[in-house]
Structure 1
Amino acid sequence: MNFAVGWRQVATIFFMLALASGIVFSSYGIISAPIGKEFHATHTMTMMGMGAILLFGVVMSPIIGGWMDRFPFQVLTTAAAVLLASGLFALSFVQTMWHVIAVYAVFMTIPISVCGPMGASVLIMRWFVKRRGLAMGIAIAGLSAGSFVFPVVVQQVIEVLDWRMALRILALFVALTMIPAGLFLIVSRPEDRGLHPDGASEPPPEQPSTRTKGKPVSIREVVGDLNFWLVAFSLGIPMSSGTGTTSNIVLFAGDLGIQAKIAALAMSTIAVSSASGKLMFAFVGDRFDIRLIQFTSMVLSTAGLLTLASAASVPGLFAGGALFSFGSGLLNPLWGVLIARTFDRAVVGKAMGLVMSIAMVLSVISPVLFAKLRDVTGSYATPFIFYGVAILLSTALLPKIKLRSA
């Protein structure tokens, strides 16, 4: 059976993740720097746009997850693309930093969720079962592709023109590419095209839903499941450590007396290593117990953090950063696969949104806690060790996670 349309979903999600994450997250510092300079903003104020996305994401993730269970994915991705294009266009007209924060909160939160790992996971799990790990690994690699391409492109456009015109060009690019992709390429489910997951001749065997058909999914129903808390913290703790590490790695390099150019090269190494981890998941995700893969990723992340804690020069920075980011990259595509295996299929979207909320709360705290521990002790070794130990301890949660049949 021709299953090209299934792999088209993977390619489209790869592109959407690269575009949304590459512009909103990876290019945030590049976009916010000239804006902050024009408005004479402090570093703290300049970073508040990113904080606004994370804080609004905590509230919106369960709601968006519920939408994914109820509405066609074409509608959600198209609406997200419209919001992203509108937000970039609105951002080009801001007159104060508070306008910037409001634009990021109102316009960027939904696109980064729908066209991010959460949305990708929900769509891929509908189209793939036996090859879900492969499909997820390829699709999530779009995050790394976006971090390669867009910061460089955005910086070049800003240098040639100015930041306002650069944002308008980005808005036009999103409108001309991402909106049509959502409208014409995304297909919510294989059944909409008379297909079955993986292109099989018959639907895959799966555990029937235990819920009453049409019954609304309540938050209490999801959070009352022990699996929810086991999954939320076993995924959220490593995710938050990644946020804290990447947001402080350049400052850590400065503490070691490493030049800014070398620190930037370290960031590129981290991106390459993270992409390698995602692609590795594509090869192993369908072959091994998902909890074993998660355990491996967490051990690698811990080893990377402890290497960074003992680093005193460039080799330690590169080795620790590469090891940590490979472990994080291996974990990124695992979200959707693990959640699909631990929750009733009728509540997966809501469960994923709530898990993401827990992870976002931990991620909002992490960069601040990293910096606070460094300021109190005078060294980044303390937060690296703290989070390394936290990840290692959270591996004890993995055997308690109950998996449903694939």
Structure 2
Amino acid sequence: MFQGWWIVGTHFTAQLFVSGFFIYSLPLLFPAVIVDFSTDATTVNLLPSAASLLGLVVAPLTGPLVDRWSARGLMIIGTLCLVLGLLGLSFAQSILQFVVIGAVFFSIAQILLGPLAGSAVVSRWFTSTRGRALGIAAIGTSIGGILLPKGLGQALSTVGWRTGLQGIALASAVFVLPLLVFRFWDQPSDRGVEAEADGEAAGAPQTHGELATNKEILTRPAFWLFTLSLGFFLASYTATLANIGQFCADLGFPADAAENLIPVLALCGIFGKLGFGYLADRIPLKVGLIAAIGTTGLSLVLFSLEPSYSVMLVAAAAMGVASGGILPVWNAIVPVIFGVQNFGRAMGWMMPVIGILVTPSYLIAGAIRDSSGSYVLAFQVFLGVLGAAVLLILPLRVVGEPAS
């Protein structure tokens, strides 16, 4: 077996836990945390907002280290931060402790275990089938979105959310750390092999070239068109997902409604990642981006109707397909524009810009809900933001040549 698939599997597992918790499971905690700490939706949304804000500092510092030092070492640090953050939340005695502990540790874990480091290494190992490899690795987020919310949901109804977080912390340490230590290598040359091509190990070499400076990356129009569009998309998507548990509660659905809704979203994300990962090697990449943004827009239209639960399931399925589309296409575009050798540095600068756009979106959603008693206006605002994201994508050129 080509050893690059160990890289894909490790990245898959890391994203299963970090995204499975922070993106898909954290929203399930919010109703219980609001009750336990006698707080409100705006306050609990400070955790993801603050984590995004701290990520503005972490990402640009991490990006060059991915290209010059060791992605493996960074991902080990990220795993330790994830474990410590989960344990810290489980012992929090106030909403302030809950927000601060979560923001500090998860801001680091999300960056180090996310696409910045892992996808950079996958891109080094794979060439002609890079899109497929990235799509398979990205499925980890969806599998995590199926498994972790179910497990946490069971804990919420039996042993409580604190014990549930401790269980996720233990599983993260047991499953992720051994793979990183024993089955993850930064470069194919570390194992004496070449990058994969046409599904086989004996493929063409990767693209090599000069490391770009920060100025060279930041002065490319393609950087700003692509990054701002992604930021608008992710601001709308993540803020909606983070509040889905409270949205279900506001509509009077049973306590397990969100617990069942999120796995549907995650399951459809698997098909989205496989499909878009396959297409990323065959179609204009910005077509995939526009399709993902449009699918999310459909979800927001349905959510804004405050629909029946069956329609909510359709909206969640559409969001899942959209998330599946955005991750492999995003990771496939970066090396096309900037080169594989600059993946970490480029992603390191993209993430803080995206973070600036994402950070207020959580608070906006929570504040609109607290002031109006409904999330409808928030969904309508995010729909307009998605329209701006599409307009930014249209002039972007990424197929077959670096954007100028």
- TM normalised by structure 2 equals 0.86
- Which residue pairs with 2:314 in the alignment? 319
Aligned partner of 1:284 in structure 2 is 279
1:204 aligns with 2:199: no
- Is residue 24–residue 262 contact of structure 2 (8 Å, CA) maintained in 1? no
Task: Give the whole-Å Cα distance in 1 for the aligned partners of 2:369 and 2:28.
Answer: 25
Distance 1:157 1:239, change over 3 A: same
Contact 1:281 1:333 survives alignment (8 Å):
yes
Structure 2 distance, partners of 1:127, 1:295, is: 28
Is 1:176 the counterpart of 2:174? The answer is yes
| 1:358, distance to aligned residue in structure 2 (A) | 1.9
**Residue of structure 2 in register with 1:401 after alignment:** 396
- Specify the alignment match of 1:340 in structure 2: 335
Q: Check whether the contact 1:69–1:347 (CA below 8 A) recurs between aligned residues.
A: yes
Do the aligned partners of 1:274 and 1:328 also contact (CA within 8 Å) in 2? yes
* Structure 2: gaps of 5 or more residues: none
CA distance in 1: counterparts of 2:297 and 2:129, whole angstroms: 29
Task: Identify the residue that residue 129 of structure 1 maps to in structure 2.
Answer: 127
TM-score (norm 1): 0.85
Alignment check: 8 A CA contact 1:258 1:313 kept:
no
State the alpha-carbon separation in 2 of the partners of residues 307 and 33 from structure 1: 23
Q: 1:379 and 1:187 mapped to 2: Cα distance?
A: 48
Letter in 1 for 2:104: V
Where does the alignment leave 5 or more consecutive residues of structure 1 unmatched? none
**Could you tell me how far 1:242 is from its partner in structure 2?**
0.6
Aligned position for 2:183: 185
Query: How far is the alpha carbon of 1:229 from its aligned partner?
Result: 0.4
Which residue number in structure 2 is paired with residue 235 of structure 1? 230
Equivalent pairs counted in the alignment come to 398
Comparing 395-404 with 227-236, greater Cα deviation is found at 395-404
TM-align CA RMSD = 3.0
- 1:303 & 1:37 partners in 2: Cα distance? 32
Q: 1:328 to 1:94 in 2, by over 3 A?
A: closer
**More displaced stretch, 376-385 vs 39-48:** 376-385
Give the equivalent residue in structure 2 for 1:88. 86
Match of 1:118 in 2: 116
**Letter of the 1:182 counterpart:** L
Supply the AA of the counterpart residue of 1:61: A
CA distance change for structure 1 residues 85 and 300 in 2, over 3 Å: closer, same or farther?
closer
Deviation at 1:365, TM superposition (A): 1.9
Aligned residue runs from structure 1 range 366-377, under 5 A = 366-371=361-366
- Deviation string 1:290-324 (CA, Å, 9 cap, x unpaired) is 11221222222223333444564344433333224
**Corresponding residue of 1:222:** 217
CA distance in 1, matches of 2:316, 2:268: 8
Quick check: 1:28–1:50 contact (8 Å CA) kept in 2?
no
Q: 2:359 aligns with which of 353, 357, 364?
A: 364
Equivalent-residue separation in structure 2 for 1:305 and 1:32 (angstroms): 21
**Deviation (angstroms), 1:361:** 2.1
Q: What residue number does 2:12 align with?
A: 14
Aligned residue for 1:401, secondary structure, equals: coil
Q: Deviations over 1:156-196 (max 9, x none)?
A: 34655455554444433333332222111111111211222
1:64 to 34, 56, 62: 62
Mapped partners of 1:176, 1:371: distance in 2:
35
Percent identical pairs in the alignment equals: 27
